[in-house]
Amino acid sequence: MSAAAAPTFFYDFNSPYAYLAAHRVDRLLGPEVRWQPIAFAFLLRAKDRTPWSLTDARPAGMRECQERAARYGLPEVTWPPGWPVESYTLSSLRAALVAEERGRLREFSLAAFAENFVHGTGIREATALERAAEVAGLDPAAIRHGIERPEIKERLREATDGALAAGVIGVPTVLADGEPFWGDDRLEAAAQRLAA
């Protein structure tokens, strides 16, 4: 598969469905999948959408995430304090872009997801991002300083705008052959599209 045709996995660390998808996307779609963190809150605002976690569907959605984690053989989901509003931060997404510069995007992303939904500590605090950096084999100080760089903030904005332009309306979404497949439960459909 050429780099131009490589599928893209769009995610935000505050999404439990993105956490679930992150553990399956490479296996289902292949290692050439490009991982792309985006700012889900800005996506919601642009689309004038309210996430399920802020509606009456919240209890059922949380149960579904827990059931899927068990089915996928993942640790039990532990919800961070105040999730989703009080656990949201752009710093973790910027940190992921700093990790990408150092060739450790997947490693950092999986560690950040674990901080949020396995350990349940959330990732708003600098110490949580530093722990994720250490697990990913990165210098925590480089992450701490990197997230304040103007070009990192701009890259996150551009990535989010690019996702919107590509038709992404939620996370996780895989863009396969130009078609967005939204949801952890759509990864198989994305894989079929690429196989076809």
Q: What is the pLDDT of residues 166-183, one digit of tens each?
A: 999 999 999 999 999 999
Is residue 96 in some structural domain?
yes
Is residue 3 in some structural domain?
no
Is residue 95 in some structural domain?
yes
Average pLDDT over residues 95-118: 98
Predicted pLDDT at 196: 85
Average pLDDT over residues 92-100: 98
Distance CA 53, CA 83 (A): 9
Is residue 2 in some structural domain?
no
Q: Is the pLDDT of residue 103 over 60?
A: yes
Predicted pLDDT at 2: 42
Domain count, the chain: 1
Give residue-wise pLDDT tens across range 23-76. 999 999 998 999 999 999 999 999 999 999 999 999 999 999 999 999 999 999
Predicted pLDDT at 59: 97
- Which CATH number fits the domain that encloses residue 87? 3.40.30.10
Single out the residue of 89, 115, 114 nearest to residue 37, CA to CA. Answer: 89
**Structural domain harbouring 52:** 8-195
